Amino acid sequence: MRMSVVAVAVLALGLTACGSGTDSGTGGGKDGTLVVGATAVPAGEVLTYVRDHLAADAGLKLEIKEFTDYVLPNTALQEGELDANLYQNQPYLDDFNKARGTDLVPVVKPYLPPMGVYSHKVEDVTQLADGATVAVPGDTTNEGRALKLLEAGGVIELKAGAGADASPADVTANPRHLKIRELEAAQLPRSLDDVDAAVINNNFAQDAGLSPAKDAILVESAKDNPYANLLAVRRGDEDDPRVKKLAELLVSPEVRTFIKDKYHGSVLPVTGG
């Protein structure tokens, strides 16, 4: 996830969903097919693996509809055009439900596209000099996530209870007197020559040829991470047998192995979902 609900609302007007199925306008397929919306990478790739290698043996018919933005998969789900979607994290879903009046709920969290700290000047966050400049995403959700990662690295402390919307005002300890520079998330990879370090979203890092596993000097852990991507459904559909089957497959050993082998640490399987 790289944008907040507010940031992408305008984009939704000009972007359309690209569906592979023909049963548009209804949730489940005519033969009980589970219709799942997803962005292409990694959600679409993970679902394609499940469809092509695991679904038949589990008695599940799966149809994947790919979307090119972050609003339409949720509105399509709420309106019944989809049975589920896979692409977002919990803070984004909470923000979306609040802003749009939707009632979508998580079922399982299979993987994390980890945020990382990158630098052309140091090899570890503990090497950041006094007064170093660290760039972070300027939008609310991603800035809070970036600050929490810096806290996990031991270079700052946030006030107790600081949540997903944490800001530099919530920094209570900054022993290295780091200067936090807020930038538009997409600009962060290009800022690396101008700052001492930058906290960069997974998708923008990979677009810039940066590998979280190889290049990040600090990277998020998948353990108990609220930013893991989740399978979402309309409230009340959590017990749909088809949804339960898909949820089980998404956290199966086979999918965990697929994620590890394909993404080499750029996407992390989440233990236990």
User: Do residues 157 and 192 both lie within one domain?
Assistant: yes
State pLDDT tens for residues 113-126: 999 999 999 999 99
State pLDDT tens for residues 142-201: 999 999 999 999 999 999 999 888 999 999 999 999 999 999 998 999 999 999 999 999
Q: Residue 111: beta bridge partners?
A: 229, 269
CATH of the domain at 27: 3.40.190.10
State pLDDT tens for residues 209-228: 999 999 999 999 988 899 99
CA distance 33 to 167: 43
User: Do residues 241 and 202 both lie within one domain?
Assistant: no
Residue 140: which pLDDT band, with cuts at 50, 70 and 90? Answer: confident
Domain that holds residue 205: 116-219
User: Do residues 193 and 236 both lie within one domain?
Assistant: no
Closest C-alpha among 175, 205, 202 to residue 190: 205
CA distance 177 to 192: 19
Residue 7: which pLDDT band, with cuts at 50, 70 and 90? Answer: very low
User: Do residues 44 and 103 both lie within one domain?
Assistant: yes
State pLDDT tens for residues 64-80: 999 988 899 999 999 99
CA distance 15 to 68: 7
User: Do residues 55 and 98 both lie within one domain?
Assistant: yes
Closest C-alpha among 76, 95, 90, 104 to residue 16: 76
User: Do residues 11 and 100 both lie within one domain?
Assistant: yes
What pLDDT, on a 0 to 100 scale, did the predictor assign at position 68?
84
Q: Select from 202, 219, 236 the last residue of a domain.
A: 219
User: Do residues 207 and 234 both lie within one domain?
Assistant: no
Closest C-alpha among 112, 51, 88 to residue 233: 88
Are 232 and 39 spatial neighbours (Cβ–Cβ below 8 Å)?
no
User: Do residues 158 and 66 both lie within one domain?
Assistant: no
User: Do residues 69 and 41 both lie within one domain?
Assistant: yes
User: Do residues 174 and 237 both lie within one domain?
Assistant: no
Number of domains composing the chain: 2
User: Do residues 18 and 143 both lie within one domain?
Assistant: no
Long-range CB pairs of 39-42, under 8 A, 24+ apart, other chains included: 39/66, 39/67, 39/68, 39/70, 39/73, 39/87, 40/66, 40/68, 42/111, 42/113, 42/229, 42/259, 42/262, 42/263, 42/267
User: Do residues 152 and 200 both lie within one domain?
Assistant: yes
